[in-house]
Structure 1
Amino acid sequence: MSPESTGQNEHYIRVYRRRFRAWRGNRPFWAGLFTLAGGVPIAYFPYANMHLGNVTLAMSTTAGAGSLIIGVLLVTLGLTMWFHSIVRVFAGVAAILLALISIPVANIGGFVVGFVLALVGGALSISWAPGETRSDEEPFGEHGSRRTAPAKHLPYEERPEGEFQAAAVPRQQGAGYDLAADGDGGRNRAG
């Protein structure tokens, strides 16, 4: 393509990856993922059948319904962390409590795997805080690189000729400023 071209030069996979990265950065993504992953073994193991040759081992217990409810609630809380991050603290506390309840109810918390994943996901959700966003521009530039913060305003301005000129600085209160003179337009005592 020529330098004058205004068409998109990026591959569509790179565009989707950048959009996913921006989506992931605005919510407690890893907390939701760990909580989702913790709910799956808690709900799955009580209903799983393991086959060893001709022998079938059923791990179903009397608390199978309880472990299914705990697993489904953990999956729901993980999705809530992703799509409604405003309730992340509630979802994190609920995930930790459900993980603790899964120890006696759901085969030692999905054989400890689901317990640990849900516990970590809940803790990550509680500790996550949204970052500062700039509404004036997107976080990534044209070529996928992160944009830098805008330059701070300096106390001087550059003229086109290359000379520097002091910027207009508003007058502030100081030793020579008369507070009582505000009625006359804030004139300086010395001048």
Structure 2
Amino acid sequence: MSPESTGQNEHYLTVMRRGFRTWRGDRPFWAGLFTMAGGLPIAYFPYANLHLGNVTLAMSTTAGAGSLIIGVLLVTLGLTMWFHSIVRVFAGVAAILLALISIPVANIGGFVIGFLLALLGGALSVSWAPGEPVAEEADDEEQVPVTVGAPVAAQEVPDDGPTQTFPQQAVDFDKQVQADGGRHRAG
């Protein structure tokens, strides 16, 4: 590294991959992906034509509009899980209900493929919880010691209140646990 260099230059793909990884970790990414993937076959199959030689098989039913609506709603719920994760429980429950409704309405839920994907996405969305933020550990010098048995007046109680001392407990819990071997003794 030369003195003029500010640091190692990273490739832009590495930076984008790390950014995507961070974005993906802050939301129910897989739930949204499975929900959207489940909505596509549900919406597609009623309008698809299968060609076998000179024979064309049409999958369209009278509930084609219902299939389209369910598929579009599932894709919308998947996008909602990604970009508005605060409503993930509602979106997950709605995705599960739409997946169940797609069985009688949309060619057995997009030939079971869309049904299973949307059901899995909804379940993942309902069960997803945001991670706890990583707390930085403070140094021992910065921690405020807690003294048991100190008078209440020393703990910044208004002057007009009574002062009272709490009984001193001379028990060091770490030493007691080590002496007991982790067992709790009553007494």
Query: TM-score band (shorter)?
Result: 0.7 to 0.9
Post-superposition Cα deviations, 1:48-102, rounded to whole Å, max 9, x if no partner, equal: 0011111111100111000000000000000000000011000000000000000
Q: 1:150 offset after TM fit, Å?
A: 3.6
Mapped partners of 1:14, 1:35: distance in 2:
28
Compute the displacement of 1:172 (Å): 1.7
Q: Deviation string for 1:165-188 (max 9, x for gaps)?
A: xx78546232xx34477649x899
Matched, 1:153 2:139: yes
Instruction: Output the aligned Cα RMSD.
Output: 2.5
Mean Cα displacement is larger for which, 3-12 or 70-79? 3-12
CA distance in 2, matches of 1:51, 1:58: 9
- Is the contact made by 2:153 and 2:164 (CA closer than 8 Å) also made in structure 1? no
- Structure 2 vs 1, CA of residues 57 and 171 (structure 1 numbering), >3 Å: closer, same or farther? closer
Inter-partner Cα distance in structure 1 for 2:84 and 2:34: 16
Please, which runs of 5 or more residues in structure 2 have no aligned partner? 166-187
- Residue 146 of structure 1 corresponds to none
Percent identical: 79
Q: Which runs of 5+ in 1 are unaligned?
A: 135-148, 156-166
- Return the alpha-carbon distance in structure 2 between the equivalents of residues 87 and 169 of structure 1: 39
Total equivalences in the alignment:
160
| Corresponding position: 1:114 with 2:89 | no
Larger relative helix fraction: 2
TM-score (norm. length: structure 1):
0.75
Q: Hey, what does 2:76 align to over in structure 1? A: 76
Residue equivalent to 1:173: 148
Aligned to 1:96: 96
- 1:5 aligned counterpart, secondary structure: coil
Whether the 8 Å contact between 2:35 and 2:117 is mirrored in structure 1 is yes
The TM-score, its normalising length taken from structure 2, stands at 0.77
